[in-house]
Amino acid sequence: MSFSWPWALSGLLVLPLVFAVWWLTRRRRRRAAVRVTSIALVRTALPGRTRWRRRVPAALLMTGLVVLGVGAARPQAKVPVPMTSATILLALDISGSMCSTDVDPNRLTAARKAAAGFIESQKGGPRIGLVTFAGTAGLLVPPTGDTQALLDALDGLVTSRGTAIGQAILTSLDAIAEVDPSVAPTGADPKDRGDGGYASSAIVVLTDGANTRGVDPQTAAQQAALRRVRVFPIGFGTTAPAPMVCDSSQTDGSFGGPPGGGFGGFGGFDGGGGRNPRTIDEPSLQRIASTTGGSYHRAENAEQLRGALRNLPSTFTVVYERRDIASWFAGIGGALVVTALGFSLWWNRARLPATPGGPPK
């Protein structure tokens, strides 16, 4: 907790002075009290009060004054605030290895369904954009709140050769720069964020392999870090051998089969560099997350992928803002003072002297 007017806390120094004056006044009254010969007469005249009845109102009053004094300094607290202005770029791997059937019915279909569920869950929230990458990366849908446009784009995903993870990050950065003035495009010098915080935008990279084309992923991650844009990589798939099967709508025919005809078999390639499509370059993905301030997630099946996507938004769509809570202190302090006065009047009502002879006529 911080204070807008910390100097106002000096007013609390008055409270010990008030307490000292009260104590001295009470002591003088004791000295000036009239001596009587019979204590029984005093007890009969004034109904007794237990010690706690004498102290509770004073304690409540002092506490209330302290709370009001703290409230005068305009305290502020960090509170979580949903950020609907955030932008999420979802970069999806559409390399040939996404046809692997180790995830039913294949990785591409499972990823498409998980991405669709994620998009629908964010309806009315942050803007979402789609980037797809194989040998190159391209912006499929610019950041938008149009859920249906995003879902329609997912239905047309087609696999191709290569895996350009670094290029996907740079393409996502440029897409974010189009809608977020605080993020510079990749061809410009990044702006200095004086607050030292992260941008209100993030990139989610879903891939099942290793970079084989284009820009090195670490170079791209450094560009994202300079712009304070976090990257959250997700490694998808298993290491178990499985046939690679895509239907006619999921392949462009660049794997040796006829265009639009689909293909099958045990794929030992991803169309670029001869790497095994079942090997996820986890060290590289973890470095990307570490460099940008994001986090790496592993998903070996469709359920784990849905869980990873479901939990990510709370990481970058909730920010902590300082909110003035002086009104809370004013309300609580005022309630304590009023309660103290109420108790004092209630417990002292019988001590008030009665009018001799009854009410005046």
By CB neighbour count within 10 A (0-12 exposed, 13-18 middle, 19+ buried), where does 10 fall? exposed
Per-residue pLDDT of the chain (361 residues), as tens digits, is 666 666 666 666 666 776 777 667 766 665 555 555 555 545 555 555 556 666 677 777 778 777 777 766 677 776 655 555 689 999 999 999 999 999 999 999 999 999 999 999 888 888 999 999 999 999 999 999 999 999 999 998 999 999 999 999 999 999 999 998 889 999 898 876 555 678 888 999 999 989 999 999 999 999 999 999 999 999 999 888 889 898 888 887 655 444 444 444 434 334 333 334 457 999 999 999 999 999 999 999 999 999 998 887 666 655 555 667 677 777 887 787 788 777 677 766 655 455 555 555 4
User: How many Cα atoms sit within 13 Å of 65 on the Cβ side?
Assistant: 17
Please give the Cα distance from 213 to 116 (Å, whole number).
27
Tell me the domain boundaries of the chain: 2-78+325-351, 84-316
For position 335, what pLDDT does the model report?
83
Please give the Cα distance from 352 to 252 (Å, whole number).
97
The one-letter amino acid at 137:
A
CATH superfamily of 84-316: von Willebrand factor, type A domain (3.40.50.410)
Tokens of 137: 């990366």
Over the range 175-195, which residues count as b (16 or more CB within 10 Å of their CB) and which as e?
bbbeebeebbebeeebeeeee
For position 142, what pLDDT does the model report?
96
Tokens of 187: 């061809």
Closest CA to 250 of 102, 134, 129: 134
For position 268, what pLDDT does the model report?
38
| 170, 292 Cβ separation under 8 angstroms | no
| Angle formed at CA 298 by CA 114 and CA 138, multiple of 5 degrees | 55
Over the range 57-80, which residues count as b (16 or more CB within 10 Å of their CB) and which as e?
beebbbbbbebbbbbbbbbbeeee
Closest CA to 255 of 96, 94, 92: 96
For position 51, what pLDDT does the model report?
61
Phi first, then psi: what are they for 274, rounded to 5°?
A: 70, 20
User: How many Cα atoms sit within 13 Å of 190 on the Cβ side?
Assistant: 18
Please give the Cα distance from 311 to 317 (Å, whole number).
11
Cα separation values, 191 from 127, 172, 285, 321, Å = 22, 17, 25, 22
Please give the Cα distance from 219 to 286 (Å, whole number).
14
Tokens of 181: 């003035």
Tokens of 260: 């639009």
